[in-house]
Amino acid sequence: MNFAMPCLPADQIQILPAAADHLPALAELAGVIWRQHYPGIISNAQIDYMLARMYSLDTLREEMQAQGIQFVRLLVADRFVGFAAYGPAPVPGGMKLHKCYLLPEMHGRGLGSLLLKHCERAARDLGARRLMLAVNKRNSKAIAAYQRNGFTVAEAVVTDFGSGFVMDDFIMAKDLIP
């Protein structure tokens, strides 16, 4: 799928499906993004722990192949700069945005919104009426971006992630209008 943005021609921006052979590059990009974005929000020890658990190739393959989570890649001028993943939620009519990440140097260009809109359309096409996500309560930049895109805070949750780490998140949601 191609998109046009100010200063970037439509043929420079693509959102493409990710396949199993893209997972190593996706895991590597996640590490770059997390290590640039999350210091100050969570500890470096938690960043390393969560990356190892959430972005191992086995975990990503399991999400893709057994859990029905679909991954997409965002490319700008053929450079892999972001990704998202969405899949079934345990709520009737719901879909969960599991991942939505963009290199910090690409923030502020509308690319994250394009990625979100793509996932919203895909979720709606799969029959979802509501898209939900979890975001760290201290991740003010992401919270603001989600709010700009129509998401609202539905609840606050603290989830044990193991090894003494917790995810202290807001669950945000957006109704998908047909």
Residue 2 lies inside a defined structural domain of this protein: no
For residue 8, the model assigns a pLDDT of 66
For residue 11, the model assigns a pLDDT of 83
Q: How far apart are CA 172 and CA 71, in angstroms?
A: 20
For residue 135, the model assigns a pLDDT of 98
| Contact by Cβ (8 Å): 26, 71 | yes
For residue 177, the model assigns a pLDDT of 83
Residue 4 lies inside a defined structural domain of this protein: no
For residue 7, the model assigns a pLDDT of 60
Domain that holds residue 33: 10-175
Residue 34 has pLDDT above 60, yes or no: yes
pLDDT tens-digit series, residues 53-110:
999 999 999 999 999 999 999 999 999 999 999 999 989 999 999 999 999 999 999 9
* Residue 145 to residues 2, 11, 108, 113, 165, Cα–Cα distance (Å): 21, 25, 10, 8, 25
Residue 1 lies inside a defined structural domain of this protein: no
Residue 55 lies inside a defined structural domain of this protein: yes
Q: How far apart are the first and last CA of the chain?
A: 20
3-state secondary structure of 119: helix
For residue 21, the model assigns a pLDDT of 97
For residue 48, the model assigns a pLDDT of 98
pLDDT tens-digit series, residues 116-162:
999 999 999 999 999 999 999 999 999 999 999 999 999 999 999 99
Count of beta carbons in the 10 Å neighbourhood of residue 36: 11
Rounded to 5 degrees, φ, ψ at 169 are: -120, 160
Query: Please, which residues have CB within 8 angstroms of residue 10's CB and are 6 or more apart in sequence?
Result: 2, 3, 4
Domain CATH code at residue 91:
3.40.630.30
Total number of domains constituting the chain = 1
Q: How far apart are CA 37 and CA 82, in angstroms?
A: 13
Q: Tokens for 106? A: 């690409």
